[in-house]
Amino acid sequence: MPYLKLRDGAELFYKDWGNPKGKIVTFSHGWPLSSDNFENQMVFLADKGYRVIGHDRRGHGRSTQTWEGNNMDTFVDDLKELFEHLDIKDAVMVGHSHGGGEVTHFLGKHGTSRVKKAVLIGAVPPLMVKTAANPEGTDKAVFDSFRQAMHKDRAQFFLDVPTGPFFGFNRPNVKTSQGQIQNWWRQGMTTSFKTAYDCIKDFSETDFTSDLKKIDIPVLVLHGDDDQVVPIEASGLKSAKLLPQGKLKVYPGGSHAIHNIDVDEVNNDLISFLQS
């Protein structure tokens, strides 16, 4: 399995699938998961001749569990090293949830010289937490409860999230998937406790507003209007307006994990955007 040794000695795990000479699409996963969460999209595009690259952020999945550096600035600097290592050019970046924040901050901090388009799926920008300037956000007490639940029983909390709001399995008359729940739990428990805990603050309190305004490439925003984790009113709707070349598609009744639940529709939207 390929690893990149980073500037501080940490090792970043990544997948590099498909046509080595194909057009490149990169994937940034959500909290507290790994690149495995994008396998349906990666296989779909690789089968169509694309080169698909997905990494496990430091502390997540198979990457090194560092004690410090569980923050967006470090994550995007790691990703920049990966782009340079693999000589990634003219890429399309795709990010879900916390990974959508990673894509946004990467483009805001490091620019778009290596990237031609981006896709944000159920992404956290511009800001999740409720503030005076962001009244549509989620109250900080909710994120405090996440931290408390992790300290009390992380394993149970990491079952409760996918069983309920993440996939929307708590809605009436929804077909649930025990496999999806167990796969989420598997990925979450592989991530270090410290990283998962620190990243609650990172995904909820990082303000990506200035990053969004800087992005000078086309960005497709995909968001479910029944996203219980990252409500569309505080995220997708605002991001699409802040992005200079933002385009929004709303998934009616869509959960936070539309790429896992509405697989065919998301894949078709991705390929259409890539080919446009």
Q: How far apart are CA 162 and CA 244, in angstroms?
A: 34
Please say if 16 is a catalytic residue.
no
Assigned token pair, 141: 């007490």
Which of 96, 98, 105, 256 does the annotation list as catalytic? 256
Task: Tell me whether residue 21 is exposed, middle or buried, using C-beta atoms within 10 angstroms of its C-beta: 0 to 12, 13 to 18, 19 or more.
Answer: exposed
Side-chain-side CA neighbours of 73 within 13 Å: the count stands at: 2
Please say if 113 is a catalytic residue.
no
Q: Are 188 and 32 in contact (CB under 8 A)?
A: yes
Residue with tokens 């600097």: 77
Q: H-helix or E-strand containing 92?
A: strand 91-96
Assigned token pair, 73: 């600035």
Please say if 259 is a catalytic residue.
no
Which of 35, 63, 97, 239 does the annotation list as catalytic? 97
Beta bridge partners of residue 16, listed in sequence order: 53
SS3 165: coil
Assigned token pair, 130: 């409720």
Which of 36, 56, 211, 227 does the annotation list as catalytic? 227
Q: Closest Cα partner for 32 from 159, 160, 190, 254?
A: 190
Which residues are known to be catalytic? 97, 227, 256
